[in-house]
């Protein structure tokens, strides 16, 4: 999706019978189409190809002969078992780049394990440091393992394309969901390496900065980010806490972190005394970092996103109008370009072979008769 957002012609290879499994993730569905699938498949064309048939594999190799990049998310060894090794796919195209995305990577003792977002959130340690200190481990509220791995994969593909421009040859890229998620540990891993002790769940508090956490107002929730002494001074002025500014327990950032529980206990009733919008207004006016904790609905209707063109609409041939949050990148101060709608299963099979390879309807039908495309609609 990210590469498609940047202008790549993305062809999605799907099983002719069932397609991408996320087509069945729901509810909700829109005219039978999964809202989950619709949210992450813009700017792609769908080819229904049976990789278990020899004709289907030949069709894929023909596409690889003219492609820049092949991305797969099978367990390591699956494509090799079908004869679709990197060597086979690049034999006619030495400039081909193959990016393999898997749960645990192409090497190591766990290489053959299946990987899903929930599994990797746990295996990476992220769940162990997420949630209330006295509660169970908690997953992040979005599919962060899937999402961050996709970001790393698109970044790696772009780097591989730059390398190819210098060397003239392609190569392999290996992106592991475990590696991607473990990389997010950053200072948490640093704390372990420095002390030998695993960080514990801290809820919405920060281990080394305070007050840098969540507070409840009289009618909602907000986040406060006092990341240095300058902001602490500004904050104390807002709440009428000049005495707190020079309190020896709180007069420096390390002291505030060491006495976080005491400080939070003083601040909670102060924030509960007024509405969320009051605090956002007075804190923002003073230059204190703060923000509301908004619902997904509030964010999807937020004027800031809408005015920046971040909420877009496409017309899907089955689901009708589909809204989504667009790419978060812009060039030369221009809003994100319009997107093409998510594809129906096999919607572009003939079109892709015609535009990429110049095949005629007869040639495609010949492959179809050999089982390459299952029962896909080739119109």
Q: Which element (helix H / strand E) includes 61?
A: helix 54-64
* Residue 41: C-alpha distances to residues 1, 37, 291, 313, 322 (Å): 6, 6, 31, 13, 11
Rounded Cα distance, 222 and 36, in Å: 29
Q: What DSSP element (H or E) covers 322?
A: strand 320-325
Task: Beginning with the edge strand found earlier in the chain, give each strand of the sheet holding 97-102 in spatial order.
Answer: 69-72, 97-102, 171-176
Q: Which one of 146, 174, 247, 332 is the catalytic residue? A: 146
Asked if 50 is an active-site residue, the reply is: no
The conformational region for residue 203 under phi > 0 = left, psi -120 to 50 = alpha, else beta, is left
Q: Cα separation of 128 and 145, whole Å?
A: 14
**Are 345 and 19 contacting, i.e. CB atoms less than 8 angstroms apart?**
yes
Q: What are phi and psi of 251, to 5 degrees?
A: -80, 5
Cβ–Cβ under 8 Å, residues 310 and 326 = yes
Using an 8 Å Cβ cutoff, are 70 and 64 in contact? yes
**Residues labelled as active-site residues:** 146
């Amino acid at each position: 999706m990210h590469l498609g957002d940047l202008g790549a012609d993305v062809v999605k290879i799907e099983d002719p019978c069932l397609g991408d499994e996320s087509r069945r993730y729901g509810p909700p569905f829109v005219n039978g189409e999964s809202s989950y699938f619709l949210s992450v498949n813009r700017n792609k064309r769908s080819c229904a190809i049976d990789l278990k048939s020899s004709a289907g594999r030949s069709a894929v190799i023909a596409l690889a002969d003219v492609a820049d990049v092949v991305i797969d998310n099978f367990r390591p060894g699956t494509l090799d078992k079908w004869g679709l090794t990197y060597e086979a796919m690049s034999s006619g195209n030495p400039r081909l780049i193959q990016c393999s995305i898997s749960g645990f990577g192409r090497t190591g003792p766990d290489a053959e394990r299946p990987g899903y977002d929930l599994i990797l959130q746990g295996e990476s340690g992220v769940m162990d440091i997420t949630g209330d200190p006295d509660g169970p481990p908690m997953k992040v509220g979005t599919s962060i393992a899937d999402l961050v791995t996709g970001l790393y994969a698109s970044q790696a593909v772009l780097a591989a394309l730059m390398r190819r421009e210098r060397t003239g040859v392609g190569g392999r890229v290996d992106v592991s969901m475990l590696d991607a998620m473990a990389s997010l540990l950053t200072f948490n891993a640093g704390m372990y390496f420095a002390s030998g002790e695993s960080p514990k769940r801290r809820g919405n508090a920060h281990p080394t900065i305070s007050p840098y956490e969540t507070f409840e107002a009289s009618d909602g929730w907000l986040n406060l980010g006092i990341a240095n002494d300058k902001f602490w001074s500004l904050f104390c002025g807002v709440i009428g806490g000049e005495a707190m500014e020079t309190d020896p327990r709180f007069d420096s950032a390390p002291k505030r972190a060491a006495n976080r529980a005491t400080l939070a206990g003083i601040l909670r009733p102060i924030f509960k005394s007024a509405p969320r919008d009051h605090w956002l207004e007075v804190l923002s006016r003073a230059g204190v970092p703060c923000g509301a904790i908004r619902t997904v609905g509030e964010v999807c209707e937020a004027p800031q996103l809408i005015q920046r063109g971040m909420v877009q609409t496409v017309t899907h041939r089955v689901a009708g109008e589909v809204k989504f949050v667009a790419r978060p990148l812009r060039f030369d101060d221009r809003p994100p370009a319009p997107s093409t709608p998510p594809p129906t299963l096999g919607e572009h099979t003939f079109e892709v072979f015609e535009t990429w390879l110049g095949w005629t309807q007869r040639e495609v039908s010949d492959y179809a008769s050999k089982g390459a495309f299952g029962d896909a609609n080739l119109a």
